[in-house]
Amino acid sequence: MSLHLTLRMAEIIKILSSANEFITSDTLALKLGVTSRTIREDIKTINYKMKEFKTEIVSKKSKGYKITAESEDQLKKLLYEVEAENALFNNTSVTVTPEDRVQFIIKRLLYSNKSIKIESFMDELYVSESTIKNDLKRIKQVLNSYNIKIVKDHQGIKADGNEVNKRFCISDYFIHSEEFDNRLILKLVNSFGYYFFEDDIDKIKKIILDELNRNDMEVMDDTLNKIVIHIMIAIGRIKSGQHISSINHIEFLKKENEYRIAEKINKSIETLYDIQNPEQEIEYVALHLVGNRLGKKGEISFQNLKLYLGKEIFQLTMEIMEQTKIGLKGLHIDEDEELFYSLGLHLKQLVTRLTFNMNIRNPMIDEIKIKYPLAFETGVIAAHCVEKATGFQVNQNEIGFLALHLGAAIERQRIKYVSKKKIALVCASGMATSELLLTKLSHVLGNSYNLTGVYALHQLDELLKQKPDFILTTVPIERHLEIPVVHVPSILDDKDIIKVQNTLKEMHNKNKVIQPFFRRELFFQNLKPETKMEMLETMTEAMIHQGYIEKETRDSIMERERISPTSIGNMVAIPHPLHMLSSQSFICTAVLEKPLKWSEAEEVQLVMIIVLEKRLQTKFQEIFESLYEIIQSPDNVKKLCLSKNYDAFLDIIESI
């Protein structure tokens, strides 16, 4: 029962419905900036389109127009439809952006069972045929990502595709806010021409929660909202005669407990809305129950986990744990039983979503990539395992969710294994002086450092076995050491203490962490690549030619980029290998002459490829954070891109 009104016609209905008396065509014309004749023509069209709502605009000589309806409920439904069709624009202005037009046309195509003439879109949006045809290029891109095609016939154009894919498009492309409230849900769902009221949301939520509670299942609020939206879309589509004909790969779902829950939910929905749902609609609800984050009250025991996950998911979980062991030596997350449990449950839902092409948005993805780079890279390793096991490509949103589970395990292991910075003291004075110095340092350095003890100069080899991060010494150490050495007097005064604190702070300087990794012979400026892959080919070829990497590392860099773009905002990308294969650690840098498209949403002008040898794998986060601290400012990136040469580039790094 879609009206397909112009914005001006919608405004006429709203003006008349809010008035308790007749309004003349001259008054309406004045309000809307058109002639009385245009108003009369619009009202003829409106009356024709409102027949199904049993509502009419009546005219009375010398008095004007008034809207009448068979019942208040019919008028209410009409106004809901008018608001729904205007929801896209959020105002009554005829001027809309290209993206507004794209969304409007996609909604019309998805909602309609019939073909729509291009002229109809031209009239409704007040644009030319060439504008609509240009919009259709973007529309085809959007719909193609859901396996929906635009087809032409003698009556116009229509969206041709599986009904499940159309529903996924509606929920994913249009309804993607993470902060739902009932009014927003209604606005979004009703913008497709469906008629729901606020209490409908509460009723559907109650049906779902009652059934989940009966089965000792728990659900988070955002997941519950998403399931409600899918059910509301399904009800609207069914009432409009748009049924699901079949769902592929559905047999395994019927074995799940969620299928039984879906049957009960479906029965209650049929009763509430007086509709008949075919079996495919039960499958559709079950799909969303299995594919979303539901939990079992009291949890599943670890002993029963293999039975619950099934052999294939259990083995996939084991493979990911094994690959993280290889990829993250020194962090021991493969020993984390809690990770195995939570990751296994997550993979069961993930594989369901991949099987049925269910997209899920991750509003935290940018923050995860930047704030937890090591966790994200571990998520990439996990995604690679999933792709090999299932044949499905895992998108960046899903990698982000995998990273949350893996990141929690990394943090648990850091607490368990990573200690404070260790400092050893070398002192040639007597025991009393040494003890005084040790006590004084312990007091002023606080909780960030652990003083491992006092050593004589001849005990240096024994000291080094303790693997300290720093050495404080009261005597000169002639021997060259790989770790920082700080000279201190035997008796410390306040000035000495401040000096020691500043020296240690300077050693922690983020810029100092990354400066040693840059290489003059791996610094390139004013490059003019046509594509991202050409850029990476150029840089990796130079790295091979200079003897820094083998072809295997280059392939690993390319594979990592294929899985998820390494752009991190502010026109910067930090590519790196999927696996640490190199025997050297370095950063290869390129400044492009102009920004290059790196992903769907980002352009890049500064590229820094990080390659680390295996022993420094666990330092990836520290090095990444050091880089990000510098390039998170657009001004800093601009300065780096404008640097005249390698030395100027490094000077800028040091000065930031």
- DSSP letters, 626-649, are HHHHHHTSHHHHHHHHH-SSHHHH
143: in domain: yes
DSSP 8-class letter at 171: I
Domain boundary among 244, 275, 296: 296
Domain boundary residue, one of 270, 296, 322: 296
Q: How far apart are CA 132 and CA 106, in angstroms?
A: 12
Tokens standing for residue 216: 């000792």
Q: Using CA atoms, how far apart are residues 83 and 607, in angstroms rounded to an integer? A: 48
Digit-coded pLDDT (tens) for 523-537: 999 999 999 999 999
Residue 291 in any domain: the answer is yes
Clarify whether residues 524 and 649 are in a common domain: yes
Domain check: are 644 and 550 in the same one? yes
Residue 237 inside a domain? The answer is yes
Q: How far apart are CA 198 and CA 446, in angstroms?
A: 57
Look up the domain containing 275 and give its range.
Answer: 169-296
Contacts of 386 (CB under 8 A, 6+ apart): 316, 320, 347, 350, 351, 354, 392, 394
Whether 541 and 650 share a structural domain: yes
Q: What Å distances lie between residue 522 and 517, 540, 565, 581, 610, CA to CA?
A: 10, 10, 22, 18, 11
Residue 643 has φ and ψ, to the nearest 5°, of -60, 145
DSSP state of 516: G
Query: What band does 484 get if pLDDT is binned at 50, 70 and 90?
Result: confident
Give the per-residue pLDDT at 64.
94
In terms of domains, do 638 and 524 share one?
yes
191 and 281 assigned to the same domain: yes
Report the C-alpha gap between 448 and 419 in whole angstroms: 9
Total domain count for the chain?
6
Same domain, 380 and 453: no
Q: How far apart are the first and last CA of the chain?
A: 62
Residue at 86 is within a domain: no
* 178 pLDDT tier (thresholds 50, 70, 90): very low
- For residues 353 and 362, give the distance between their C-alpha atoms in angstroms, rounded to a whole number: 14
> Are residue 531 and residue 473 in the same domain, yes or no?
no
**Angstrom distances, CA of residue 182 to CA of 178, 186, 202, 268, 296:** 12, 6, 9, 21, 26
Rounded (10°) CA dihedral 336, 338, 343, 346: -170
Per-chain mean pLDDT for the chain? 84
Give the single-character DSSP code of 174. I
Give CA–CA dist 402/329, Å, rounded: 19
In this structure, which amino acid lies at residue 512?
K
- pLDDT value of position 482: 75
Q: How far is residue 75 from each of residues 16, 43, 289, measured CA to CA in Å? A: 11, 16, 36
Lowest mean pLDDT among 5-19, 180-194, 241-255, 342-356: 180-194
Is position 84 within any domain?
Answer: no
- DSSP label of 491: S
Contact 189, 237 (CB under 8 A): no
| Residues 478, 537 within the same domain | no
Encoded tokens for 335: 């020993």
Summarised one tens digit per residue, pLDDT across range 61-76 is: 889 999 999 888 888 8
Strand partners, 604: 596
**Domain presence at residue 390:** yes
- How open is the CA angle 106-110-113, to the nearest 5 degrees? 135
In whole angstroms, what is the distance from residue 124 CA to residue 126 CA?
A: 6
Q: What is the CA radius of gyration of the chain?
A: 32
Position 300 scores a pLDDT of 65
Separation between Cα atoms, residue 142 and residue 105, nearest integer Å: 12
Q: Which of 169-173, 247-251, 351-355, 639-643 is most confident?
A: 639-643
For the ranges 299-313, 401-415, 583-597, which has the lowest average pLDDT? 299-313
Q: Cα 383 to the chain's mean position, in Å?
A: 15
The reply to whether 79 falls in a domain is no
Q: Write the DSSP symbol of residue 557.
A: H
Q: How far apart are CA 410 and CA 342, in angstroms?
A: 14
Residue 164: count of CB within 10 angstroms of its CB: 22
Lowest mean pLDDT, pick from 279-288, 418-427, 471-480, 568-577: 418-427
CATH number for 145: 1.10.10.10
How far is the C-alpha of 107 from the C-alpha of 177, rounded, in Å?
Answer: 17
Of 492, 508, 524, the domain-final residue: 508
Calpha distance 436→449 (Å, rounded): 17
Phi, psi of 18 (to 5 degrees): -90, -5
Cα–Cα distance measured from residue 647 to residue 653, given in angstroms and rounded to the nearest whole number: 10
Worst-scoring range by mean pLDDT, 128-132, 298-302, 638-642? 298-302
Structure tokens of 602?
């980002």
Q: What percent of the chain has pLDDT over 90?
A: 35
Q: How large a percentage of the chain has pLDDT more than 70?
A: 87
DSSP string, 59-82: EETTTEEEEEESSHHHHHHHHHHH
Look at residue 416 in the predicted model and tell me its pLDDT.
63
Q: What is the pTM of this model?
A: 0.67
> 419-475: per-residue pLDDT in tens?
567 888 888 766 666 667 777 777 767 666 777 788 888 888 888 888 888 888 888
Task: Please write the tens of the pLDDT for every residue from 509-524.
Answer: 555 568 889 999 999 9
What pLDDT does 640 receive?
Answer: 94
- Band of the pLDDT at 212, cuts 50, 70, 90? very high
Q: Is residue 153 part of a domain?
A: yes
pLDDT digits (tens, 9 = 90+) for 149-167: 999 999 999 999 989 999 8
- The reply to whether 241 and 307 lie within a common domain is no
Q: Tokens in use for 557? A: 């860099």
Residues 473 and 536 in one domain: no
Mark whether 338 and 247 lie in a shared domain.
no
CATH of the domain at 259: 1.10.1790
pLDDT of residue 122: 87
335 and 256 in a single domain? The answer is no
Any idea what the Cα angle at residue 16 is, between residues 13 and 21, rounded to 5°? 165
pLDDT of residue 509: 54
pLDDT band at 94 (very low <50, low <70, confident <90, very high): very low
User: How large is the average pLDDT for residues 361-371?
Assistant: 82
pLDDT of 249 reads: 74
Residue 386's CATH number: 1.10.1790.10
Q: Which residues contact 290 (CB under 8 A, 6 or more apart)?
A: 253, 256, 258, 348, 349, 352
Q: Per residue in 102-122, is it b (16+ CB within 10 Å) or e — as a string?
A: bbbbbbbbbbbeebbeeeebe
pLDDT of residue 192: 63
